[in-house]
Structure 1
Amino acid sequence: MTTTPAAPTDEPDQTLQAASELLRALASPVRLGIVRELSGGGKYVHELVTALGVSQPLVSQHLRVLRTSRIVAARRQARETRYTLTDDHVAHIVLDAIRHAQE
């Protein structure tokens, strides 16, 4: 049995644009690492710095990109800020991409 190629979808340009912006926001090894770390639950910046082995300013810069893209949310707790994923679907995308790269 042969299959025919999938017909072009009628996705609105806005949907494709939003998907493109999501992928652009994830297009950094540090940002992928942040999402991977946050997939297990919320973390503070110092925890991300330790887990990723990069500087605090670099983590903060990448968190800013992820916050602007609404991939992560920040919640102030006393003197620190705890970061969490806004949507578990993004974690699945990142974790699947990492697993695929390991094959």
Structure 2
Amino acid sequence: MPSKETLAGAGEILRALAAPVRIAIVLQLRQSQRCVHELVGALGVTQPLISQHLRVLKSVGVVHGERTGREVMYRLVDDHLAHIVVDAVAHAEEG
């Protein structure tokens, strides 16, 4: 059985993934790394909203941002979380 700390961390990650915009961000980053304005264009939501959701995902270790010149390029930390999101979307589509 995982430790209480591990279970709490898993709960934080799942809570962070619970917002539809964050799910869409993970799906976008699954394809390739993106900067904020690319996510704004792809998802059709405002820059402040994208930035807020990226902060949440970054705080639980789902995404990592790396500055390249004036842009910050975001990428998924690993593929495990993308699989969770893809499976959840597939399950919802079957529903």
State the TM-score, normalized to the length of structure 1: 0.87
Q: State the alpha-carbon separation in 2 of the partners of residues 34 and 50 from structure 1.
A: 12
Q: In structure 2, give the amino acid aligned to 1:53.
A: G
Q: Which residue of structure 2 aligns with residue 12 of structure 1? A: 3
Match in the other structure for 1:92? 83
Q: What is the aligned counterpart of 2:93 among 76, 88, 102?
A: 102
1:27 CA drift (Å)? 1.1
Corresponding residue number in structure 1 for 2:71 = 80
1:36 alignment partner in structure 2: 27
Say whether residues 1:54 and 2:52 are aligned partners.
no
Query: Shift in Å at residue 19 of structure 1?
Result: 1.0
Give the TM-score taking structure 2 as reference length. Answer: 0.94
Structure of higher CA gyration radius: 1
Q: Mind listing any 5+ residue stretches in structure 1 that lack a counterpart?
A: 1-9
Structure 2 portions without partners, runs of 5+: none
Offset of 1:11 from its aligned partner? Answer: 2.6
SS in 2 for 1:39: helix
Deviation beyond 6 Å, 4+ runs, structure 1: none
Q: Distance in 2 between matches of 1:59 and 1:42?
A: 14
Task: Return the offset for 1:41.
Answer: 1.3
Distance in 2 between the 1:21 and 1:48 partners? 23
Aligned with 1:87: secondary structure? Answer: coil
Count of residues paired in the alignment: 94
